[in-house]
Structure 1
Amino acid sequence: MRLELLYFFFYSMTVYILETNGWPQQGKHELRWNHSYTGINKPSNPIDKEVLEEFYHSTAGPAWLNNAHWLSGDPCESKWYGVGCNPSGDVVELDLSNNLLAGELPDRLSNMKNLEVLILRHNAISGTISPLLFTMKALRVIDLSYNKLSGSFPPQIELPFLTNLSLSNNQLEGYLPNHWNCLNLEVISISSNMLQGVLPNGLSTLSSLKYFDVSENFFIGPFPKEYSSLTSLETMWLFTNRFNNSIIPESWNKLVKMKNFQADSLAGNLPELIGVNWSDLEVLIVVDGHLTGDIPESFCHLKKLKYLHLFRNSLSGPLPKCFCDLPTSSLVSINLSYNQITGTVPDCFDNFRDLRYFYMENNNLTGTLPRSLSACKHLYTIDVSNNYLVGSIPSLYANLKDTLNWFELDNNRLNEIEDGLEDFIVTLSTKFCSLYGNPWSCPLPNYFSGKEYCTARCSSCNTLEQHSSCEKCLTSTSNCGWCADGRNCLEGYTNGPYYPYHCDQSEWVFGNKTNC
């Protein structure tokens, strides 16, 4: 249960970060359609009028948020709200999004032979999605997302003019069709349904596809190698399915226009193609899986990267030597938490002008806190808890007082709070700050006295006189020991210090001055 809560927390934070910095929430591809036919006042096609009247009654028209002019006069002449007509009087657009529609769509909707745009998103339309919908050959846009539609797809879809198919956040079941005669299709958004099975190879014929979101369903792996033919693809969201331990096919190196790739539960090493071939990536989120090995040097080729989220995997080794070559002017968020990354954090953040989120907790990092983080004038979060960092909180972090809202350093080996941080610490204590589980040297600065700011505490072992001296540590009191790995005097017993001061037994000296 705890793992599920942690994943939910990080997933929620990822969504929050993306939403607040200009990227759409998952499954939320919102079409902005420019209505082409305005000012038309020729009488409408009689069949279209009959269908619209039935549509009005079957979707609770009197209770709509806006039903201006409906059932009054002619749909085209009287300009019924949400209805667009062409010069011949055919109804070609029906856009009633966010309008409190309820009930079911009538089957006769398919009799509107010239309908090109059907946008009914964000309503409460229920019932089974009619297979007749997929026989309306003139359709260019179908957006029924955020409703309560059930049912399944027909065995094949032949809509030659269709550019946008958005059915996300419904209750659709079954399998995706393998036959698609939709050469102009640019958007498939079917997230948050109950679809299942493998992703069909037949989708590989959609050479115009740019946006592909199948997240939050029950699809299984492996990923089709044939999708290498989707050379127009820019956005691919695969997360929260059952692609357990799937790997990114090497053939996907042909998807050179990829800008936004999001998946989870992947396995294997991070492929070199991400940096070499997907060099236009702006968002890379591959989380909660079984990725192993180092982060490859090729990642430093991602010169447009804004979001790098690889949390909750098994990545190891140090950060790439070229870490400082990442796109310092565009990078907004780094989340590499819950891995096994080792080594130090490079002190090269001076030019990361837009960095807002820095998550590196629960790794095996050593060394000191990078002082250059103080130059990130928009930084909102620093979380490097549960590592092996040593040294001090730099006084330069006082520069982050007005922007930083989340500061987690707990469970490291930090031992000093530099002068000049009083306002910084006091301000953060009203937001979120956690410093516990570090061997802070006593006495703490006066502004900690009698208060619980940032939950920083020191122990009787960590006085200024004995904190950094093995001999003074071991002769002062019976419950103190010396940890050479981190050079701290710590409370503990013969077998090691109290949790969480990570100190290897071979580095621990207790009650034996001669071992100093």
Structure 2
Amino acid sequence: MLALQCGCWYREGSFRNNHRWGWGWIPPSTGFASENIKRDYCTIQRFKKLITRDPMKITKKWVGNDVCHYPGFKCATVPDQKVTALAAADFNGYHFGGRDLQLTGFLDQLPDLSIFHANSNNFTGPVPKNITTSRVRYLFELDLSNNKYSGEFPVSVLQATNLTFLDIRFNSFSGSVPAKVFNLDLDVLFINNNKFSQQLPRNLGSTPVLYLTLANNNFRGPIPKSIGNARNLLEVLFLNNELEGCLPYEIGKLDKAVVFDVGSNKLTGPIPHSFACLKKMEILNLAVNKFYGPVPEMVCDLPRLANLSLSYNYFTQVGPECRKLIKKRILDVRMNCILDLPGQRSAADCAKFFSKKRTCPNERSLSYIPCRKGGYSSSLETSDQQSMAPAAAPITYNALKPHKLRL
């Protein structure tokens, strides 16, 4: 049976659970700005019927033909058609809810959309399969964070190859993250605060991202050596996972990085001397792991360091440069095995740890410094101080909060 509702034809029973899903036809004399807007209006009105919880009464304003002025929507000119259409949907913080509130049939039915943000809502079900570059041609920002998603990684995003921003944090996704994710041409990848459990893919370093957060999952195993190839990285958060093994010297190749955080894992070994190459590093967190040995003076001598967290490890020695940072409260070495400093582990605790022989694969690589002539130097050598302007406040730590993130 066919019926007319809100200016759109629809076929009853064409959507599961007896939702009435339309075909998108609107009579021609309705005064819309373009045929694209007609289509988008119909899609919005169908989607509106799925929203049964709207605490901010947003959808009450989704009336009339001028969808470009609906709260949460913005329009622009479609580049290849030179007509007006919906270009952005921003539902951040709207707290939409519904018995079966899904994005299938909505997000994939807005082919001119370039930005979709939906932080802090109650979307569930599968992420739409048809968000391919051929379908939603200009989609470059997708934020599904802080919703009710579960199950496997939403592999459909791999088809949206124009994406530069992908944020699926604070859901209950589990299983593995496909290695292909790290081949996407992204600037931002936030997958923290889910339930992913796997070894990090070997091609991790293939990612071109600037900001990467993998925190608060169950990633295990070592950090791949390929990370040294991710030369665009500015901030990377691995904290609060189950990562193991020694840090690869290749981390020292991240010469643009300002934040590197592997706190609260099961990592071990000495700090690689290659960290002396991290000239722009401001926040370096290795706390709550099983690192040991002397703290390299060249690391304490990095010119931009504002916070160096080494607490709750098994470090045994700090030199003059590191002691300067302790006095400035830049360096935290509480609960280590440094005999002449207060707030350290007990002698019994340290003795128990060092009673077992501990080595790293390719120990010689831990003394390698890729940014220095000859590649090697003594652990007490300090770097040349450089005068650098302070950088902007870190961004990725804000991603560890569930609500709206501003970049």
Task: Please classify the TM superposition score into its range, dividing by the shorter chain length.
Answer: 0.5 to 0.7
- Is 1:163 the counterpart of 2:87 in the alignment? yes
Answering whether residue 233 of structure 2 is matched by residue 308 of structure 1, we say no
CA distance in structure 1 between the partners assigned to 2:187 and 2:143 by the alignment: 13
Aligned match of 2:202 in 272, 286, 309? 272
Paired AA for residue 376 in structure 1? L
SS at match of 2:273: coil
Structure 1 regions of 5+ residues with no counterpart? Answer: 1-89, 93-109, 111-123, 146-158, 418-434, 440-489, 491-496, 508-516
Deviation string 1:116-138 (CA, Å, 9 cap, x unpaired) is xxxxxxxx9822515955x8576
Taking structure 1 as the reference length, the TM-score comes to 0.51
Equivalent residues in 2 for 1:200-239, closer than 5 Å: 200-204=128-132, 205-239=135-169
Matched, 1:261 2:189: yes
CA–CA separation in structure 2 for the residues paired with 1:254 and 1:275: 9
Matches within 5 A, 1:66-465: 126-127=56-57, 129-130=59-60, 132=62, 136=65, 139=68, 143=72, 161-174=85-98, 175-179=101-105, 180-204=108-132, 205-243=135-173, 245-252=174-181, 254-255=183-184, 257-264=185-192, 265-276=195-206, 278=207, 280-326=208-254, 328=255, 330-391=256-317, 393-397=318-322, 400=325, 405-416=329-340, 435-438=342-345
Aligned partner of 2:68: which letter? Answer: L
SS at match of 2:157: helix
Conservation of the 8 A alpha-carbon contact between 1:368 and 1:390: yes
Cα contact 1:138–1:161 (8 A) shared by 2: no
Q: Residues 74-116 of structure 1: CA distance to partner in whole angstroms, max 9, x if unpaired? A: xxxxxxxxxxxxxxxx999xxxxxxxxxxxxxxxxx8xxxxxx
CA distance in 1: counterparts of 2:144 and 2:170, whole angstroms:
9
Residues 221, 304 of structure 1: CA spacing in aligned structure 2 closer, same or farther, 3 A cutoff? same
Q: CA offsets per residue over residues 167-205 of structure 1, 9 Å max, x none? A: 101220132331323232121111012222232213333
Residues 140, 164 of structure 1: 8 Å contact kept = no
What are structure 2's unaligned runs of at least 5 residues? 1-30, 34-40, 42-53, 75-82, 357-407
Distance between the aligned counterparts of 1:369 and 1:401, measured in 2? 12
* 1:503 partner amino acid: K
Give the TM-score taking structure 2 as reference length: 0.64
Measure, in 1, the Cα distance between the counterparts of 2:143 and 2:187.
13
RMSD: 3.3
How many residues are matched?
292
Q: Taking structure 1 as reference, are residues 359 and 136 closer, same or farther at Cα in structure 2, changes over 3 Å only?
A: farther
The CA distance in 2 between the partners of 1:331 and 1:346, in whole Å, is 16
Cα deviations by residue, 1:372-424 (Å, 9 ceiling, x for unpaired): 12332221211111112112x2211366489x54432122111246xxxxxxx
**SS at structure 1 position matched to 2:252:** helix
Residue 365 of structure 2 corresponds to none
* Identity value in percent: 18
Structure number with the bigger relative contact order (C-alpha 8 A, sep ≥ 6) is 2
Paired letter, 2:352: C
What is the deviation of 1:239? 1.1
Which one has the largest radius of gyration?
1
Give 3-state SS (helix, strand or coil) of 1:274's partner.
helix
- Cα pair distance change 1:401/1:314, threshold 3 Å: closer
Shift of 1:310: 0.6
